[in-house]
Amino acid sequence: MNVLDALNWRYAVRQFSDEKITSAELKGLLNAVRLSPSSYGLQPYKIIVVESKAVREKLLLHSYGQDKIAQSSHLIVFAAQTQIGDTTVDNYIDKYAKITNKPHSELINFSEHMKSALAAKTPEQRQVWAHQQAYIALGNLLTCAAVMKIDSCPMTGIDSAGYDEVLGLDEHGLTTSVICPIGRRHSEDMQAYSPKVRFDYDEIVMEI
């Protein structure tokens, strides 16, 4: 399926069937999401996979009755880091040095540049920035899932503080950004047949 066909096929699923996606599909999808770009490459978030029904039943209490988070095959939670600063950069530089085979001494300017850019932001701005990076990964997940014929529904209609508590995110220095149940659409989900409501090309694309 080409990308446009995949994007027309996908929709925000209202009702999932109880069919599971395979672990190979899940791994393939998450490996694609892992390749998402991010500001400076810092990837200041985690991608949490929740399969346990028991945990998802607890999360349902913080999902305003949107029971698809428990019905779906798996629930993906994108969680942004809460402590963003020099350590975020140091961890990345360690990884960068290892992968590129460069000594740390060659990366000092790069590291200092990232550290000062982050230090110039307020803590609130750093948190917003981290959430923005998580949303890029969400966008990739939606597109990659569609190409792989995996159904999904991006969701922010949740109480993120409740999610943080149930998942114990605080102790990992994380906070919920956005969630996305994935799986297979229910055959009775009529939303699958609703037309796509989008602004026309000329209404949304400005050619200057």
Ligand X SMILES: Cc1cc2nc3c(=O)[nH]c(=O)nc-3n(C[C@H](O)[C@H](O)[C@H](O)COP(=O)(O)O)c2cc1C
Footprint of ligand X (CB under 6 A)? 11-12, 66, 153-157, 178, 196
Tokens matching residue 104: 């740390």
Q: What is the number of other CB atoms lying within 10 angstroms of the CB of residue 56?
A: 21
**Shortest Å, Cβ 195 to ligand X:** 10
Residue nearest to ligand X (CB): 157
**Shortest Å, Cβ 156 to ligand X:** 4
Q: Give the residue with the Cβ less far from ligand X, 15 or 111.
A: 15
**Shortest Å, Cβ 63 to ligand X:** 8
Task: Give the CA dihedral 118, 120, 124, 126, nearest 10 degrees.
Answer: -10
Q: At what angle do helices 86-100 and 108-119 cross, to 10 degrees?
A: 150
**Shortest Å, Cβ 64 to ligand X:** 8
Q: Give the residue with the Cβ less far from ligand X, 28 or 154.
A: 154
**Shortest Å, Cβ 191 to ligand X:** 7
Q: What is the number of other CB atoms lying within 10 angstroms of the CB of residue 197?
A: 5
Question: What Cα–Cα distance (Å) separates residue 189 from each residue in 6, 9, 31, 186, 205?
Answer: 18, 14, 28, 5, 31
Q: Give the residue with the Cβ less far from ligand X, 66 or 160.
A: 66
Q: Give the residue with the Cβ less far from ligand X, 88 or 177.
A: 177
Q: Give the residue with the Cβ less far from ligand X, 37 or 157.
A: 157
